[in-house]
Structure 1
Amino acid sequence: MSTTEWTSDELRRIGGATELQIASYRPDGTLRPYVTIWAVAAAGGIEVRSAHGADNPWFRRALVSGRGRIQAGGVERDVTFARLDAGDAAQADVDAAYHAKYDRYGPAIVGAVTGEHATHVTLRLDLA
């Protein structure tokens, strides 16, 4: 758990942004290029999921690095990446938040980041 909490304004702004830019840090401390993904504010934090599973390059790099930087809704912050356990009760909140925010794009698209198959690729973004 992060020692610094997201503010309600940051949660609102990031949660309200359609897309989030995410990048991990390389071992030498430089930032990789940003990748555009979907993100939700759920369970009191910011969560992201890999739409293309655990082999998605940004997701693999985030796990290896453990830290990165995000931009969304006018907020830019350094974060750490913490894998949310598939059985964590917060997974239902993450699913609900993805549906509420992105269902307008259709079931095939939002289905890539919701449901049981997506729980193993859920990352919680904590402030670094």
Structure 2
Amino acid sequence: MAWTTDELDRIGAAEELEVSSYRADGTLRPFVTIWVVRSGDDLFVRSAYGPRNGWFRRAEASGRGRVRAGGVDKDVTFEPADAALHDAVDAAYHAKYDRHGPAIVGTVVGPDVTAVTLRLVPSEG
């Protein structure tokens, strides 16, 4: 599956995204609010506080979840982002969130976040 242009526009323009991962029994964990960026025809999220951040650990372990933003509510798979896209994703974070200041944006840009960048891929529920 691919994102529609409308979904990309709406989620990409949303200030925040709610993300949840599925438990082994098929139920959703509580949603967590994080930042999301669009780069090209893809959506990306990053763990602001490294690989130990709870939502990130659960998303990585589960591999699937649900996101809500901009009026879009969609099941997704969480895929490690291609490291070759790192600079473009950094640029998207800077363009969207720099107004929050370097201390905050600094938690989601730079070489330390490559391993905690996930690509959101739409999936069937």
Q: What TM-score results when the alignment is normalised by the length of structure 1?
A: 0.94
Q: CA deviation at 1:8?
A: 1.1
Q: CA deviation at 1:84?
A: 1.4
Matched-pair contact (CA < 8 Å) for 1:43–1:94: no
Q: Which amino acid aligns with 1:91?
A: H
1:53 to 33, 38, 50: 50
Identity score, percent: 62
Say which of 64, 86, 102 aligns to 1:107: 102
Q: How does 1:40-119 map to 2 (within 5 A)?
A: 40-85=37-82, 88-119=83-114
Q: In structure 2, what residue type is equivalent to 1:116?
A: P
Give structure 2 stretches of 5+ with no counterpart.
none
Q: 1:22 aligns with which of 19, 24, 44?
A: 19
SS for the counterpart of 1:89 is helix
CA distance in 1, matches of 2:109, 2:40: 15
Whether the 8 Å CA contact 1:21–1:71 is kept in 2: the answer is: yes
Question: Runs of 5+ in structure 1 lacking a partner?
Answer: none
Aligned with 1:33: secondary structure?
A: coil
Which of 13, 16, 38 matches 2:10? 13
TM-score when normalising by structure 2: 0.96
Q: Does 1:38 align with 2:19?
A: no
**Alignment deviations for residues 61-96 of structure 1 (CA, whole Å, 9 cap, x no partner):** 0011000000000000000000114xx221111000
The 4+ residue runs of structure 1 with deviation greater than 6 A are none
Secondary structure of 2:27's match?
coil
